[in-house]
Structure 1
Amino acid sequence: MNKILLFEYFLKKLVEWHCDYYKLNIVDFNDHEYNNLSKLKVIKLHFFACSTNENALDIFDDFHAMPYGHVESEIYNHLDELQFCSVTNNKMIINNWVNFNNYLPENHEVIDISTSRLRNENFSLISIDPFELVELSHKWFSWRYNFQKARQSGSYSRPINRDLIIKEEKFYSVI
């Protein structure tokens, strides 16, 4: 199973969520003034979505505690190799609308469930500033514990056990 393909499908679900939230036609997404689906923001939203579903954590199984929160390292390392869209430090651009809209990879149901659960937890999460999402992820025990251990060993990264994410208290709101 290719994580990168499923992640790109996750990005499709984020675009749909963004368009639902702002009542926007999807063809207007690229130029929308609130298109701030940056690398940082999509990585944070990806973690939050995965945290709602054990099956997602079985697929996306390389989360690390890093300075800006939980990061799925394999995804982060391949962000510049996406097929249908580009994610920059400021926003996302869909490069191939037809294929992006028709994209349905194997095991897409895991992403559908995860994204739906996150939307139900906090529909306005899609509108939150990326650095507020970082602060939100810093409330999670899995990040605090593992980042502290990383710093004690002179590092800025430490793997996070999936069971810890599954069992811990979850935060999906900045309030």
Structure 2
Amino acid sequence: MSKIYAFDYMLSLFENWYNEENKEQNKGFENCSKLSMLKLLFLTAVPKEEGARDLLDIFDNFHALPYGPVESDIYNAIQDKKLPSYIITERSITKKENVTLLYNVDDYSLVKDAIDALKMKNRHLILLNAFDLVKITHKWESWKQSINFAKLMDMSSYKMTVDSIRNDRNKYFE
């Protein structure tokens, strides 16, 4: 499974989730930010329970940055406008015109299951602003260890290992 297409499908599920939870419609999904989507990607990819399935075999390139974990391949695809259906900027998400990808749900059931598990952890995560999501990801020990090592080495980021994320004993979702 291509991580770019898996993330693109994830965005469509985030949009549906956002619209389900945002009954007041005071702002639409298109007003969500790149930072929010990158934090939601991390929270979707990680295991929700000890030993539970996760998406870290697909999204396997997380780096600890000052604002939390970032999947570098997805970040680069966003920057290079390589997502199939969406354009994401610092402050907005736009669906590309004349592009409608019909994803076979069976092919992406892992992604749907991961989002469903995240909804069970905190149904309102999708409505949080970017900095509230950053606060949540900053509670993860795997991020803290990697960012502290980056600082020690005088670097701006450091790769988070899949094992450190999977074995993190501080799995926070609120």
- Shorter-chain TM-score: what band? 0.7 to 0.9
Structure 1: which amino acid aligns with 2:27? E
Q: Which of the pair is proportionally richer in helix?
A: 1
Deviates most, 102-111 or 149-158: 102-111
Quote the residue 2:90 is aligned against. 89
Quote the residue 1:165 is aligned against. 165
Quote the residue 1:37 is aligned against. 32
Once superposed, which parts of structure 1, at least 4 consecutive aligned residues long, lie more than 3 Å away?
A: 104-107
Which segments of 5 or more consecutive residues in structure 2 lack a partner in the other structure? none
Q: TM-score, normalised by structure 1?
A: 0.87
Where 1:90 maps in the other structure, the secondary structure is: coil
> What does 1:20-169 correspond to in 2, within 5 Å?
20-23=20-23, 33-35=27-29, 36-52=31-47, 54-79=53-78, 80-96=81-97, 99-100=100-101, 102-104=102-104, 107-168=107-168, 169=170
Query: Is the CA contact 2:85–2:99 (under 8 Å) kept in the aligned structure 1?
Result: no
Q: TM-score, normalised by structure 2?
A: 0.87
Structure 1: which amino acid aligns with 2:164? L
Query: Is the CA contact 1:121–1:172 (under 8 Å) kept in the aligned structure 2?
Result: yes
Deviations 1:18-65 (A, max 9, x none): 0111248xxxx9xx6243321100000000000136440011110111
Deviations 1:104-158 (A, max 9, x none): 3774111101111101100100110101111111111011110000111111111
Root mean square deviation, CA, Å: 2.0
Q: Distance in 2 between matches of 1:96 and 1:114?
A: 28
Structure 2: which amino acid aligns with 1:8? D
State the identity as a percent: 32
Deviates most, 153-162 or 51-60: 51-60
Where 1:56 maps in the other structure, the secondary structure is: coil
Give the length in aligned residue pairs. 166
TM-fit CA distance, 1:98: 6.6
Q: Distance in 2 between matches of 1:153 and 1:171?
A: 27
